[in-house]
Structure 1
């Protein structure tokens, strides 16, 4: 059985990870006014920052097209692949995975297995890396999916944004609560619920209290065995703040495996650049 693994650019896998694990990454489109950019191809973090500072425009994104996916499938069919596992951005953020699931029903030349990560960034990436690990061990797509479901069930995210205007514009929170939050300098802690939707979990007065709230949430899981968990610090442009979070959390849970993952234009289009957070879940390397 020849199995391919496909994901999207919001997983933010490194070039080395993509190359070593033979992963196909399909770019998501970022929009500034009338200009469109494919993430990691036409636009990187630096250009995104420049556009954000100088264009006077608020960025948006558009989901991967089924035409893009068909091009991938055609290539895989030509290379005699039997199946393809497609691990993508949360259905709570985009309808893409639902569209792909329907589209896949009419594809007969290759078995398409869509998988909703209900996550983004490192949470999504860890599922991709787990799939690649299991493929190397000889497992088929049908055998891999239950492992991905288990990892998804154990993966959680908490994150803090400094400017609520991006979330307000995207409709994730009401205009009134966003405006009040900015006036009162509230630091909202957000997470992703069981449907993969972004929700406000709490509103803290300071960054210090926000971090403490995250630590309290993590204790409920990691106190049962931190050595079984992988913890990922996610961030936008504030390297200093992300380093502080990583240092503090690592001191709290020294037995866990730690890594960091810088977010890119697609996610920052919805959250703004001033974002820091943590994703934790069972260590995929031990599954």
Structure 2
């Protein structure tokens, strides 16, 4: 029998090639326009979703996957011969998906060893946790060690993101904290953060009038993180994600590579589920310790030993 399966909800935005390569199961998240329920896979081209959002007379809302959909995926894992599973979800700080996954996992506890894992983030932040876990599972790493690695990976994960307008986060009620800033945010570019080592909620931390100013703020606050990792001989992985803003995303990636050439830098998307809340043109800057550290030739996990020293608990 196979050992450990990794399940994600679609807001991790892992591309189809990696889903297939690492045998990751995906639960398709719902997006609702008026009375019609869509799913993220209904927009293979991300730009099509933002075009529909712009043209819609009623703005979209979101919901967690149904319990039935989660149970169906778990049953598929069992039918495929897996003995264990980890469901990696979007942050419980702004979605009920984790609780749904937890409830579903409890129902199947007598059939396989299964854990619901709260990534405390979304997009590539959750996707990279899942990719690390899936690679570990393929390498034959035991269940508890995968969970330990997930805990370490999550502790080093952090994000800044900038939205073109605060109105969508206000409309959907996903903005917490930083309430003193909100009154002045409507006409400028708010910079937000997710408290990945607390409840995984969104906080407004700064504001700039232009995206160029937002980048300067991010670079200023990210540079000490790079220096800390550099001093300890560890590499960072950065994911620049965007809500149909490829030009700005490419610009940020180029600046990142030029300023910190040792980093692993990749591009991702802010897909429909998250885009409902951020609106079009948002850009995110997500980072964590590079998960490649776990995978030397013998998979001894030699990179594990120092990661705990510089998680983001005291940022």
Q: Deviations over 1:189-219 (max 9, x none)?
A: 1010122111101112322221111112211
Shift of 1:47: 3.2
Shift of 1:48: 1.4
Shift of 1:61: 0.8
Shift of 1:3: 1.2
1:224 alignment partner, SS class: helix
| Match in the other structure for 1:166 | 168
1:5 alignment partner, SS class: strand
What is the TM-score of this pair, normalised by structure 1?
Answer: 0.93
2:82 alignment partner, SS class: coil
3 and 143 in structure 1: CA distance in 2 versus 1, 3 angstrom threshold: same
1:150 alignment partner, SS class: helix
Inter-partner Cα distance in structure 1 for 2:209 and 2:54: 27
76 and 125 in structure 1: CA distance in 2 versus 1, 3 angstrom threshold: same
* Alignment pair present for 1:214 and 2:218: yes
After superposition, where does 1:196-275 map in structure 2 within 5 Å? 196-226=200-230, 228-275=235-282
| Match in the other structure for 1:95 | 96
Inter-partner Cα distance in structure 2 for 1:159 and 1:228: 21
RMSD: 1.9
8 Å CA contact 1:63–1:94 kept in 2: the answer is: yes
Moved more, 85-94 or 34-43: 34-43
Shift of 1:7: 0.2
After superposition, where does 1:1-287 map in structure 2 within 5 Å? 2-41=3-42, 44-107=45-108, 108-173=110-175, 178=182, 180-182=184-186, 185-193=187-195, 194-226=198-230, 228-287=235-294
Q: Deviations over 1:165-197 (max 9, x none)?
A: 101101234899656422xx3211101012211
Inter-partner Cα distance in structure 1 for 2:44 and 2:22: 24
Inter-partner Cα distance in structure 2 for 1:42 and 1:220: 38
8 Å CA contact 1:165–1:178 kept in 2: the answer is: no
Inter-partner Cα distance in structure 2 for 1:120 and 1:258: 17
The runs of 4+ residues in structure 1 deviating greater than 3 Å are 41-44, 172-180
Moved more, 71-80 or 58-67: 71-80
Inter-partner Cα distance in structure 1 for 2:44 and 2:31: 8
Unmatched 5+ stretches in structure 2: 295-315
8 Å CA contact 2:87–2:101 kept in 1: the answer is: no
Inter-partner Cα distance in structure 1 for 2:22 and 2:142: 16
Shift of 1:242: 1.2
8 Å CA contact 1:44–1:265 kept in 2: the answer is: no
1:209 alignment partner, SS class: helix
Inter-partner Cα distance in structure 2 for 1:176 and 1:147: 37
Shift of 1:72: 1.3
Inter-partner Cα distance in structure 2 for 1:241 and 1:11: 21
Shift of 1:15: 0.9
Unmatched 5+ stretches in structure 1: none
